[in-house]
């Protein structure tokens, strides 16, 4: 069971907007630690998608955006494309147990 909770799956039709939530607690997201998002295409290594809650690395389309509020964070994808079908993971830092990094359980995005 992951420290950061994500919905197991979300889906949307091409062109639509979807959001993926990442819910934490007062020892991680709620403590002010940044949230980062990764995209994992089938059979490949994860790729950094969003860092520092809402920043996109060079090369990531602006269809992808991130936000954070309280003990939760969200990843939004607009103008959904077939190539966006992948697993998405959030990541943050948790101050419990001397501090450690944690990932969410992952969300499978299906483009209908």
Partner 1 sequence: QITLKESGPTLVKPTQTLTLTCTFSGFSLSTSGVGVGWIRQPPGKALEWLALIYWDDDKRYSPSLKSRLTITKDTSKNQVVLTMTNMDPVDTATYYCAHAYYAIFDIWGQGTMVTVSS
* Nearer CB in complex with partner 1: 56/65: 56
CB of 65 to partner 1, least distance (A): 17
- φ, ψ for residue 30 (rounded to 5)? -65, -15
**Which residues in 57-95 are b (16+ Cβ under 10 Å) and which e?**
eeebeeebbbebeebbbbbebeebeeebebbbbbbbbbe
Question: Contact letters (x/-) for partner 1, 70-109, by CB under 8 A?
Answer: -------------------x-x-x---xxxxxxxxxx---
Question: How many CB atoms are closer than 10 A to CB 7?
Answer: 15
The residue from 2, 5, 25, 78 that contacts partner 1 (CB under 8 A) is: 2
Contact footprint for partner 1 (CB under 8 A) = 2, 33-34, 36, 38, 45-48, 51-52, 57, 89, 91, 93, 97-106
């Amino acid at each position: 069971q992951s420290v950061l909770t994500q919905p197991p799956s979300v889906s949307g039709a091409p062109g639509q907007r979807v959001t993926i939530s990442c819910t934490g607690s007062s020892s991680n997201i709620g403590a002010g630690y940044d949230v980062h998002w990764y995209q994992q295409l089938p059979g490949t290594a994860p790729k950094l998608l969003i860092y520092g809650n809402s920043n996109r690395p060079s090369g990531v389309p602006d269809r992808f955006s991130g936000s954070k509020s309280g003990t939760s964070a969200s990843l939004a994808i607009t103008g959904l494309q077939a190539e966006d079908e992948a697993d998405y993971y959030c990541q943050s830092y948790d101050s419990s147990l001397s501090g450690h990094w944690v990932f969410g359980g992952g969300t499978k995005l299906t483009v209908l």
